[in-house]
Amino acid sequence: MVTKGTVNAVISNMVTLKVDGPISQNEICYISTGGDKLMAEVIKVVGDFAYVQVFESTRGLRVGDEAEFTGHMLEVTLGPGMLSKNYDGLQNDLDKMDGVFLQRGDYTYALDKEKKWHFVPTAKVGDKVKAAQWLGEVDENHQPLKVMVPFTLDGEYTVKSVVAEGDYIADDTLIVIEDAKGKQVEVNMIQKWPVKTPMMNYKIKPRPFKLLETGVRCIDTLNPIVEGGTGFIPGPFGTGKTVLQHSISKQAEADIVIIAACGERANEVVEIFTEFPELVDPHTGRKLMERTIIIANTSNMPVAAREASVYTAMTIAEFYRSMGLRVLLMADSTSRWAQALREMSNRMEELPGPDAFPMDLSAIISNFYGRAGYVELNNGESGSITFIGTVSPAGGNLKEPVTENTKKVARCFYALEQDRADRKRYPAVNPIDSYSKYLEYPEFEKYIEDKINGEWTDKVNEVKTRLLRGKEIAEQINILGDDGVPVEYHVTFWKAELIDFVILQQDGFDDVDSVTPLERQEEILNMIIDICHDEFEFDNFNDVMDYFKKLINLCKQQNYQEYKSDKYYELGKQIKQMVEEKKK
Amino acid sequence: MGAKAFQKIYTKVTQITKATISLKAKGIGNDELATVNGKLAQVVKIVGDEVTLQVFEGTGGIPTNAEVIFLGKAPSLKVSEQLSGRFFNAFGDPIDGGPAIEGQEVEIGGPSVNPVRRKQPSELIATGIAGIDLNNTLVSGQKIPFFADPDQPFNQVMANVALRAETDKIILGGMGMTNDDYLYFRNVFSNAGALDRIVSFMNTTENPPVERLLVPDMALTSAEYFAVEKNEKVLVLLTDMTSYADALAIVSNRMDQIPSKDSMPGSLYSDLAKIYEKAVQFPEGGSITIIAVTTLSGGDITSAVPDNTGYITEGQLFLRRDSDIGKVIVDPFRSLSRLKQLVIGKKTRVDHPQVMNAAVRLFADAANAKTKMENGFDLTDYDERTLGFAKDYSNDLLAIDVNLNTNEMLDVAWGLFTKYFKPEEVNIKQELVDQFWKK
């Protein structure tokens, strides 16, 4: 029997229902009002009363309006056809909705009902299988999508029948499996999974160690992120969080990219809609959109759905990870998600924690980041979810609950800095405060040694030391004046500036400079480090400045040239010559 | 809004606070309007049979036996071509002595545009002000506020921008505006012969503050009518959004909500976003561009209202008095237009992006040199040159009294580069230097 309820109270999007039967925490229900059905989630139960958060506007809702419970938590439908789709936070396909405006109560199916997919079975009758085991695959945008044993099953099953290779719709039964007691389960291409429950269908979760190339120099060279790693980008508004995230999502060497636009600007999502279908994936040569899924809960969409959107995105990521793929998940911004939690907690009149955020914010954030990671599947294959979230700290002050709690769990920290942004030094990632814990992993060092060379990590550390030294000298010069410090200090300072201008700063809007392949990054790093090791002789600090400005200009011009083009080599020669002339 | 025969009249008010009243009533919808002794009110909370109403004018003088009549609808506005050239109060009633508007009645604060039905903004809005066009180019469909202290001439700049921009309609939403400023806008638009393109919703300092909460939604509902139904380019001016936020804080306080930063409600971000996100470019040509004003206290952008605004809007324009030239300039460091990348160098000359960045970088160098000078250190030759550059740049380009087209602005900038610097000092792509450096 379906549990029913009637509306008893309405405060903004929090509604209290009087229910007539059993319900569970986080269960989904639909409230009918004025011909619309409004989706809502149970967030608290007191006696016969269920407190639900409504994912839509509650305008016109009346006491006495009826609700019907569904018996399940908020879940997503996982299957072929998700790639290149634009979803809202509840996985409604936005393109299937009619009209210019989002109508209340308009829910659309996430997949394509009619579309046929070419299925190639790999399982054979008699095979013993377990949940999440691969049984065959279909081709989804040139990406193999596995047909898997339903994730929700327990224990061992035997394959009873398998259809022949051919074209099927997602709903068609492809394989029948049977458990020890003879209970049969029909398997199709679709999985359903509640978004707030992590998928644990892997064997182990080792420490991640494989570099994830992003083409952004201040990340790859200085503070690399790894496949299955976690990172976050805090920064005041206007420091380039979104531009940096977009660069990463365009260039990163991942199989699947999922972008959760969580409470951010609609025009930024439109930018992705417009640009990604045109842009080419630098690694496969196909259109970027073919490997991308967008979850758009823009800031004007209902707040409760904003909280759901990051979970929807993570669950889709876990689905692809179960197929042994490398998934990159970007959430912009996790602060909006935390604010959605705050609004709800406030309406439920819970005792507030710091800055009126709920007390369990820290646990919620760490559990969420914990769902990312590099895993080894039961069949020996590996998959990963690399998660990068942005944080929008109020007033640009990093001592606020969301930043602090995220810092506890994310392994990479890319601090965007107002001062660098003001001086147009983009990406405005502060090279001294930022860090990547992965640089300290021996596994990572070993991996880099095999992939690039054994000196890489030492050089990176030297760059960091030089940047710090440069900053210290800049402060001394500010206090003592240009004349107050020896000329060698100026040389050291300008060597740090050289690193800043040539390695750290990158023109995200230039076709060439925006993406630097690892091989080229290595060349730049070697060149700059060699210059830093050279000893120069100058008469006074003005000469130092003039000389390095010219040198920086040449190096920057080189960054704008196509890699290994004639102009690139020519500028390389000029740089060398300039260094030789001035070297001691 | 008199009572109709079949409407039930309630006469027992159980609770009165400064902004809200509560009573027992049945069958009432959330967000529904009501009149309380003729004063307009809106349902904000329903618990069982107890309904709480927010009274826009304030609850002063309301008796416990006040007549409460529910109107069965959310706040709405009648939209048609007749809106053009008219002035209204926060409830959408005419205040210019003209007749009531006839047209389709639309609930204000309607649903959001489906993001996949938007078009990426790509049309430049030229204002002639180089601090805007050169460094922070505006694009139709954008939302951008002025961040300014109350004493700065933001209303004048905004009026200039509105009149110079090529738009079909200008919709002015005034919240807590002084009567003098209201008359200023009226005069400027009237003198420019633009009155027939204006629609105005006005809450002045003489009106009750809570009424302000309706103004942005009124303005944007009429904007949506012109942009969606008529495919027109609409520019919406909202001044001042800080007053709007203050009204939000008053109501949330009366409702016993736990305040977050700076006594503002925890939902401030969503409340502001709901308004600003109405800015849109439609594929059919219609667009809504929002230029707002957020007044600051002592230039502090970290307080809750400007801070949340900055995360929502597509940049901000920051006005500042430059003591070197004695004029108000558009501050190139703090100002930002996020959408400029969509038009600069594409709809404008190819050298635009690099010239813009180089000039700002040199202006930053000048700021450093100034600090050095103030600390009593010797300046290098380069420092001296940046200071000279900064003064000219400020006067010839950043000042708000500049009126040039974009190519002229770029030429002025190249002229200043040539006057003060060597090509290798400006860090611009060689091809552009070869093409544009003044010889």
Share of chain B above pLDDT 90, in %: 75
Q: What is the pLDDT of residue B6?
A: 60
The number of beta carbons lying within 10 Å of the beta carbon of residue A68 is 14
Distance from CA of A130 to the nearest CA of B (A): 40
Of the candidates B46, B112, B360, the beta carbon closest to that of A102 is on B112
- pLDDT of B17 reads 87
Per-residue pLDDT reduced to its tens digit, B239-277: 999 999 999 998 888 777 788 888 888 889 889 999 999
pLDDT tens figures, B296-348: 988 888 889 999 999 899 999 999 899 899 999 999 988 989 899 899 999 99
| pLDDT at site A461 | 93
- The helix or strand, by DSSP H or E, that contains position A32, with its residue range, turns out to be strand A27-33
Is B1 within a domain? no
What gap in Å lies between CA B36 and CA B66, rounded to an integer?
Answer: 6
Residue B176: inside a domain: yes
Contacts of B378 in chain A (CB under 8 A): 481-483
Pair (B238, B167) in one structural domain: yes
B267/A296 touch (CB, cutoff 8 Å), yes or no = no
pLDDT tens for each residue of B387-406: 999 999 999 999 999 999 99
pLDDT under 50 in chain A at which residues?
Answer: none
- pLDDT by residue (tens digit) across B148-157? 999 899 999 9
Cross-strand bridge partners of residue B40: B35
Output the pLDDT for position A302: 84
Q: Which of B290, B314, B342 is the last residue of a domain?
A: B342
Say yes or no for a CB contact (<8 Å) between B357 and A424: yes
Interface probe, candidates B263, B269, B340, chain A, greatest A C-beta count within 10 A: B269
CA dist B187 and B198 (Å) reads: 12
If asked whether residues B88 and B32 sit together in one domain, one would say no
User: Choosing among A63, A90, A259, A339, which should be mutated to test the B contact, i.e. which has the most B CBs within 10 A?
Assistant: A63
pLDDT at B2 over 60: no
- Residues of chain B with Cβ-Cβ distance to A103 below 8 Å are 111
pLDDT of residue B130: 94
Rounded to two decimals, the pTM is: 0.92
Provide the domain limits for residue B57.
9-70
With cut-offs at 50, 70 and 90, classify the pLDDT of residue B234: very high
Do B226 and B311 belong to one domain?
A: yes
* Contact (Cβ atoms closer than 8 angstroms) between residue B299 and residue B149: yes
Q: Report in angstroms the alpha-carbon separations of A197 from A163, A193, A306, A493, B362.
A: 32, 8, 17, 51, 53
Do residues B140 and B229 both lie within one domain? yes
- Quote the radius of gyration of chain B (alpha carbons, Å): 25
What structural domains does chain A harbor? 4-73 (2.40.10.170), 82-95+202-435 (3.40.50.300), 116-189 (2.40.50.100), 456-582 (1.10.1140.10)
* Distance between CA atoms of residues B261 and A179, nearest Å: 56
Residues B132 and B261 reside in one and the same domain: yes
Do residues B296 and B412 share a domain?
Answer: no
**Are residues B241 and B138 part of one domain?**
yes
Same domain, B66 and B83: no
Pick the residue from chain B with its C-alpha nearest to A346.
B258
Which pLDDT score is estimated for A348? 83
Q: Are A58 and A7 in contact (CB under 8 A)?
A: no
- The predicted pLDDT at position B216 comes to 97
pLDDT at B1 over 60: no
User: What is the mean pLDDT of the segment spanning B207-211?
Assistant: 89
Q: Are B361 and A423 in contact (CB under 8 A)?
A: yes
Take residue A339 and report the two structure tokens written for it: 């604010």
The CATH number for B56's domain is 2.40.30.20
Residue of B49, B277, B334 with shortest CB distance to A298: B277
Residue B347 lies in a domain: no
To which residue do tokens 């009873």 refer?
A160
**Site of tokens 């099927």:** A168
d(C-alpha A509, C-alpha B2), whole Å: 60
Residue B97 maps to a domain:
yes
Q: Which two tokens stand for residue B10?
A: 């309630």
Complete DSSP assignment for B146-166? EEE-TTS-HHHHHHHHHHHS-
Enter the DSSP assignment of B258: P
**For A343, which of B28, B267, B333 is closest by C-beta distance?**
B267
- Compute the distance between CA of residue A412 and CA of residue A223 in angstroms, rounded to an integer: 7
For residue A394, give the nearest of B32, B259, B307 by CB distance. Answer: B307
Nearest to B57 by CA among B74, B35, B25, B72: B35
Residue bearing tokens 């200071």 = B387
B255, B319 contact by CB (below 8 A):
no
Taking CB atoms and an 8 Å limit, are B30 and A62 in contact across chains?
Answer: yes
The pLDDT, as a whole number, for residue A333 is 87
Residue A118 structure tokens: 């070419």
Q: What residues are paired with A17 via a beta bridge?
A: A7, A50
B194 and B225 share a domain?
yes
B36 located within any domain: yes
A361-370 vs A401-409: helix axis angle to the nearest 10? 40
Q: Within this chain, do residues B45 and B158 fall inside the same structural domain, yes or no?
A: no
Q: Which of B70, B89, B108 is the last residue of a domain?
A: B70
Nearest Cα residue to A232 out of A75, A428, A389:
A389
The residue-averaged pLDDT of B176-180 equals 92
- One domain for residues B321 and B358: no
One domain for residues B291 and B400: no
- The answer to whether B425 contacts A352, with C-beta atoms less than 8 Å apart, is no
- Label residue B216 left, alpha or beta by phi (over 0 means left) and psi (-120 to 50 means alpha): alpha
Encoded tokens for A47: 């006696």
pLDDT for the residue B3: 43
Nearest to A11 by CA among B47, B82, B394: B47
Residue B53 lies in a domain: yes
> Does residue B100 fall inside a structural domain?
yes
Boundary of a domain, candidates B32, B50, B70: B70
pLDDT by residue (tens digit) across B347-392?
999 999 999 989 998 999 999 899 889 988 888 899 999 999 999 9
> Has residue B2 been placed in a domain?
no
Residue B162: closest CA among B226, B218, B219, B233: B233
Query: How many A-B residue pairs are in contact by the CB < 8 A criterion?
Result: 201
Compute the nearest-CA separation of A61 from chain B (Å): 5
Partner residue opposite A8 with nearest CB, options B48, B311, B424:
B48
In DSSP terms, which residues pair with A168 in a beta bridge? Answer: A117
**3-state DSSP of B99-128:** CCCCCEEEECCCCCECHHHCCCCCCEECCC
CA distance, residue A476 to nearest chain B CA (Å): 12
The token duo for B1 is 């809004």
Domain count, chain B: 3
Q: Which residues of B touch A273 (CB under 8 A)?
A: 115-116, 120
